[in-house]
Structure 1
Amino acid sequence: MNALVVLAAILFLLMALIGGIKGIRSYLALFFNFAVIFILLFFLNDPNIDPIIFTIMASIVISCINLFYINKVNNTTIPAFISTIISIVVLLLFIIFLTKNAMIQGFGEEEVEELSIFSLYIGIDFTKIAASVMIMSTIGAITDTAIAVSSPMREIHFHNPTITRKDLFTSGLSIGKDILGTSTNTLFFAFFGGYLALLIWFKDLSYSLGEIVNSKIFSAEMLTLLCAGIGVTMVIPITSWITSLYLLKHQEKTNSN
């Protein structure tokens, strides 16, 4: 417990010194997001509640915290928020279709022994739970990519107010291409870093490569990783289009007033 407090204090000091007020807001946003996820988990235990609906609601709240609370409401966060929600809805439809056909919901055979003493008849749709887990695993990366694209686009428009919508959109795509590789690699190494123990477990079980790839646990995590990559890739053109449209519409409205 003391180590957690010390590390949390060091993180707070560094974020406050380097980020100032925005750094402090970012630090507090961590706890707000944790509270949202905790509340979501509480509601997911209720068989009478649709996990998909509450996941979308939680994603909207988390996006508001990460965008509007940290960076306030401005010409950067509004297009990023709209792009994030559009991307999540489109990705959710794809994930629901994927989870129903990939049959990755539930538990793998490696977990049967530990779960044998428990009843699995809990009245919860594991297909929807799997979709919710995928969405919650991608929301942070999608939001981060959206703000990373919309922020420099606003700067480009600010320094070149006569730029056309097409050129601004092209600039957004160019920015997205630069961050796409690092974003997808971040997701990739986050997966292998977080599930290194799982890979070691597979080695101890003497699994072949084919058995590892066809394992439900590994497949579920890889599908989550790939869906996150799809979401990060998809949000780039969406953010570029939304931001270019919003900035020029806002400029026209300002000039008319």
Structure 2
Amino acid sequence: MRWNKKLILFLGTIIVSVAIVFFVKNNAFIYNTPVGHVEDVQVLSKVLQEDNFGNKDYIVRQRLKIRILNGKQRNKLLNVNNEYSLSQATDLKYRTGQDVLLHFNYRKGHVAGTTITDLKRDVPLTILATIAISLLVLMGITGLRALFSLLLNTVLFFIAVEIDVQQEGFGVLAIFSILAGIFSLITLTLVLGWNKKMLVSFLTTVVGTFSAIIIGMIVFKITHNGGLHFETMEYVTQNPEPLFLAEIILGSLGAVMDESTDIIVSLAKLRKENPTISMKQLWISGRNIGKTIMGPLLNVLFMIFMSDTFSMMVLYLRNGNGWGYSFSMNMELGFVQSLISGIGIVLTVPIASWLVGIFFKKGAVRNA
């Protein structure tokens, strides 16, 4: 009976996922923007270009036969020209079978020209989202809690962004600091339940994260932000330093929360199984657990922060800039973010061990 329920859940999840993807694939009718389907592609020309640094690229001209999928022009066939570079740094190559978003140029009430504005990208995004959600659903109650936490935190994040925009950047650090605390409280409550382990994990996460931020702020103050190019933060229309610190808080929060939860749950279980264990032994056990977790977490955060600017780093190097200048203009802030986050990860180990020793005293673990 149990296996039948799992099989029904599995098949139901697949059927619903396929239905959602099929709907999104054919949802052009809900778009106000004209949507077209590329029926055929012809290459008109291919011209070699070379810059002063010896970088070579080709400029390719395409003629696309596009069938309109929505609006008054539905089912009408149009020929649209497109020009792209083989590197596709700032443009796109279109292929047969793709759906694209269009812009009509009208003259005297008639379509005088058509321009492709972008690909219709909702299908691949929907596929990825349905795969992730399906896996969480198949995990049962634990996965559903994680999914609910993710959705709730996403809504809260957009609310915080809207508040920041309305405040025109005033108090951005306070806004996202409060948001980080709410994120932690919601996630840990749903994962661990409302108990002592949740409380200790929450305190460890908050103390570990903000201790690292305070250390970073002190260093910035002493060095007068020397060597930090906040001006390289793209499209920032407010004071970049507090926004940078807010990025660090949100970026490192998950890693610190994951580490603190692992350590505290393990130490609480150890205390429960051996009520006479000393504070020193708990401390050593927490340190040993932290050692096995810190390395992977530090590397994951480092790769996340650095990979975001990897493409621009390559572009700078390909255009004749030195390694030092390219690094400072692209990867430096990400490197600083990973260092401050690393401080928080390292501090979490003694903080978690110490708080477990305080809250999970001998004989006080029954309701943990």
**Is the radius of gyration larger for structure 1 or structure 2?**
2
Q: Which bin holds the TM-score, normalised by the shorter protein?
A: 0.7 to 0.9
Mean Cα deviation higher: 239-248 or 87-96: 87-96
Instruction: State the AA in 1 paired with 2:158.
Output: F
CA offset digits 1:13-50 (Å, max 9, x no partner): 21222x32111111222222222222222222214731
8 Å contact from structure 1 (residues 99, 130) kept in 2: no
Equivalences, count:
242
Greater displacement, 165-174 / 192-201: 192-201
Over 3 Å counting, the alpha-carbon distance change for 1:232 and 1:25 in structure 2 is same
The alpha carbon displacement at 1:96 in A equals 2.4
Residues 170-226 of structure 1: CA deviation (Å, up to 9, x unaligned)? 2111100111111111112223433322222222332211112332x4211110111
Q: Which runs of 5+ in 2 are unaligned?
A: 1-121
- Structure 1 gaps, min length 5: none
Distance 1:42 1:134 in 2: 19
Does residue 1:87 correspond to 2:208, yes or no?
Answer: yes
Matched AA of 2:347: M
**Residue type of the partner of 2:171?**
D
TM-score, normalised with respect to structure 1:
0.84
What is the alpha-carbon distance in structure 2 between the residues aligned to residue 128 and residue 48 of structure 1?
Answer: 9
Percent identity of the aligned residues? 22
Which has the bigger relative contact order, CA under 8 A and spacing at least 6?
Answer: 1
- Tell me what 2:262 maps to: 148
Matched, 1:133 2:247: yes
Deviation at 1:2, TM superposition (A): 2.3
Q: Report whether the alignment pairs 1:200 with 2:314.
A: yes
The answer to which of 153-162 and 89-98 deviates more is 89-98
Q: Which residue of 1 aligns with 2:134?
A: 13
Tell me how far apart the structure 2 counterparts of residues 8 and 80 of structure 1 sit (CA, whole Å).
Answer: 29
Secondary structure of the 1:248 match is: coil
TM-score by length of 2: 0.60
- Write the letter of the residue equivalent to 1:179: I
- The separation in 2 between residues aligned to 1:106 and 1:72, in whole angstroms, is 40
How far has the Cα of 1:99 moved from its partner?
A: 4.3
What corresponds to 1:168 in structure 2?
Answer: 282
Structure 2 residue matching 1:243: 3-state secondary structure: helix
Residue matched to 1:37: 157
Does residue 24 of the first structure (1) align with residue 144 of the second (2)? yes
3-state SS in 1 of match to 2:195:
coil
* Secondary structure in structure 1 of the residue aligned to 2:141: helix
1:228 corresponds to: 341
User: Does structure 1 residue 238 correspond to structure 2 residue 359?
Assistant: no
Aligned-partner SS, 1:232: helix
Which of 282, 293, 296 in structure 2 is aligned with 1:179?
A: 293
Q: Whose strand proportion is higher, 1 or 2?
A: 2
2:189 to 68, 72, 89: 68
